[in-house]
């Protein structure tokens, strides 16, 4: 709860700091607060690995619970934001008049993400999704002079609003059938409904399906992914990076909690085939779509869709309990770190060369070896190559699915991963085997702080691939 309070207060205070018209104060202030929130969140676990007494209490009559699950995923989204923000330095350097608003919106959306991983009541889940989404609608269109950014914001807002309506209607039907919004009571009511009031079962099923559609839209799962490539391409790169990591991690963690606590028993036979079909479509469309792209940013958009498909494997196999939860955590962490590095390099290159396609990366290994190396490690991790965090992320997800007997799905996911290697190698080939575009042979400017953050991102990715046990079982306390 302290994380939410700190981020909310800082977001409001940041708006007043904007009146000072001193952008140089804003970035260090926000980074400092995020570092404090990250430390406070970790201090919520005492030396024995149990939750500290000040942190274990439920809030708002049990609607919000900061258990170990919530704390672990809060750490992932806060760390991701902390590592992404240094690459917004161009806004500071150029004196962007809206910088305070940008940072405040990111902090508010982070509050929404934390609510999505710590909810114990569907109303809190809805508030979390909307708090996060509304901020992202605005940030997607923050480059007002760019027509693609305006289009991205409008498309994201219209489709997001439609998905929100479907999600809300699903929640209303679930309440109508069960008589409760509380997650734990919902599980009890769903188990008792077939004998207590079987006439209400169709209403419950339709409600669950509508919620699958609403949340599927938020995490870019097919066939509700159609907004993703255009919005990712049109939104400013720094916010696209935020969207593809924080939003996806919070969405998947919230989705997993909903299905595990409320609908893992007798109703699973109804939603499981739908979720399995979504998984197959998401992997297929994400990977095949990425192959056809010539723009690196759009490739990362389709890549983001495919990674939603891999994460859905853990939801399909949720009966394995902690195995699935740990797999989601590890994969989310490895994916977020690698994706932040990829978008960071892409943003720095775009700022200098004015293009975000593969050709914009040509010759980067000669002009900026560090940027090329960071991009290479991130691509290898996203592809799931050994000695990177992405390899063990996929290994844990596939293990959870195989343990539950989904061998066919695992084989399909492995084939899709093999396709993924092709498009993740294209940026590497451009950086190391092609000359820099004419007129863009100068090195891309990178500050010492940004270089240090890139080195840290690479180090974490390799560390997760070499010693995965350092975070293994973190949810089991």
Give the DSSP per-residue string, 205-274: HHHHHHHHHHHHHHTT-TTS-TTHHHHHHHS-HHHHHHIIIIIHHHHHHHHHHHHHHHSSSTTHHHHHHH
* 342-369 pLDDT tens trace: 999 988 888 888 787 888 888 888 888 9
Residue 471 domain flag: no
Residue 477 domain flag: no
pLDDT tier for residue 63 given thresholds of 50, 70 and 90: confident
pLDDT tier for residue 14 given thresholds of 50, 70 and 90: confident
pLDDT tier for residue 54 given thresholds of 50, 70 and 90: low
User: Could you tell me if 99 and 159 are in contact, meaning their C-beta atoms sit under 8 angstroms apart?
Assistant: no
**Whole domain around residue 221: which residue ranges?**
1-466
pLDDT attached to residue 284: 92
The dihedral region occupied by 165, where left means phi > 0, alpha psi between -120 and 50, and beta the remainder, is: alpha
pLDDT attached to residue 93: 77
pLDDT surpasses 60 at 100: yes
Compute the CA torsion angle 387, 416, 240, 94 (nearest 10 deg): 50
pTM of the complete model: 0.91
pLDDT attached to residue 90: 79
Residue 429 domain flag: yes
pLDDT attached to residue 47: 57
Q: Whole-number mean pLDDT of the chain?
A: 86
* 416-460 pLDDT tens trace: 999 988 999 999 998 888 887 777 778 888 889 889 999 999 999
Residue 474 domain flag: no
Considering the chain, what percentage of its residues have pLDDT values greater than 70? 94
- CB neighbour class for 366 (10 Å; exposed up to 12, middle 13-18, buried from 19): middle
The Cα 409–Cα 140 span in angstroms is: 34
Residue 272 domain flag: yes
Report the number of distinct structural domains present in the chain.
1
Residue 69 domain flag: yes
Compute the CA torsion angle 142, 147, 150, 151 (nearest 10 deg): -140
Position with higher pLDDT, 475 vs 303:
303
Query: Across residues 307-334, what is the average pLDDT?
Result: 86
pLDDT attached to residue 45: 65
């Amino acid at each position: 709860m302290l994380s939410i309070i700190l981020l909310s207060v800082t977001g409001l205070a940041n708006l007043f700091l904007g009146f000072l018209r001193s952008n140089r104060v804003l970035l260090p202030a926000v980074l400092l607060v995020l570092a404090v929130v990250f430390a406070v969140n970790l201090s919520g676990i005492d030396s024995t690995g149990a939750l500290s007494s000040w942190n274990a209490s439920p809030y708002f009559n049990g609607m919000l619970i900061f258990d170990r699950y919530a704390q672990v995923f809060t750490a992932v989204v806060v760390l991701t934001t902390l590592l992404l923000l240094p690459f917004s330095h161009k806004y500071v350097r150029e004196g962007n008049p809206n910088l305070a608003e940008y940072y405040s919106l990111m902090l508010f959306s982070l509050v929404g993400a934390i609510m999505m991983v710590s909810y114990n009541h569907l109303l809190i889940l809805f508030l979390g999704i909307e708090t996060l989404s509304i901020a992202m609608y605005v940030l997607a269109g923050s480059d007002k002079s760019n027509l693609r950014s305006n289009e991205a914001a409008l498309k994201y807002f219209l489709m997001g609003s439609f998905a929100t309506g479907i999600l809300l209607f699903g929640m209303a039907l679930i309440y109508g059938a069960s008589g409760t919004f509380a997650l734990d009571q919902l599980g009890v009511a769903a188990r008792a409904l077939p004998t207590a009031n079987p006439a209400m079962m169709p209403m419950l099923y339709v409600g669950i399906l509508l919620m699958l559609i609403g949340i599927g839209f938020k995490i870019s799962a097919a066939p509700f992914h159609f907004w993703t490539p255009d919005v990712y391409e049109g939104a400013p790169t720094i916010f696209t990076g935020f969207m593809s990591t924080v939003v996806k991690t919070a969405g998947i963690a919230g989705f997993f909690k909903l299905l595990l606590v409320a609908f893992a028993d007798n109703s699973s036979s109804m939603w499981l085939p739908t979720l399995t079909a979504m998984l197959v479509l998401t992997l297929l469309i994400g990977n095949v779509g990425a192959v056809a792209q010539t723009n690196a940013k759009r490739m990362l958009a389709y890549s983001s869709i495919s990674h939603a498909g891999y994460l859905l494997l853990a939801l399909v196999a949720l009966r394995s309990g902690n195995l699935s939860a740990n797999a989601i955590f590890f994969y989310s962490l490895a994916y977020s770190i690698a994706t932040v590095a990829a978008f960071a390099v892409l943003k720095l290159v775009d700022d200098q060369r004015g293009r975000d396609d593969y050709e914009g990366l040509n010759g980067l290994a000669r002009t900026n070896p560090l940027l090329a190396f960071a991009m290479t490690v991130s691509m290898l991790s996203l592809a799931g190559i050994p000695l990177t965090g992405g390899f063990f992320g996929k290994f844990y997800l596939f293990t959870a699915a195989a343990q539950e007997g989904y061998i066919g799905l695992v084989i399909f996911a492995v084939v899709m991963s093999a396709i993924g290697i092709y498009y993740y190698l294209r940026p590497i080939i451009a950086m190391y085997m092609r000359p820099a575009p004419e007129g863009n042979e100068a090195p891309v400017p990178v500050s010492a702080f940004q270089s240090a953050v890139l080195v840290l991102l690479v180090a974490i990715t390799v560390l997760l691939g070499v010693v995965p046990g350092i975070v293994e079982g973190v949810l089991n306390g």
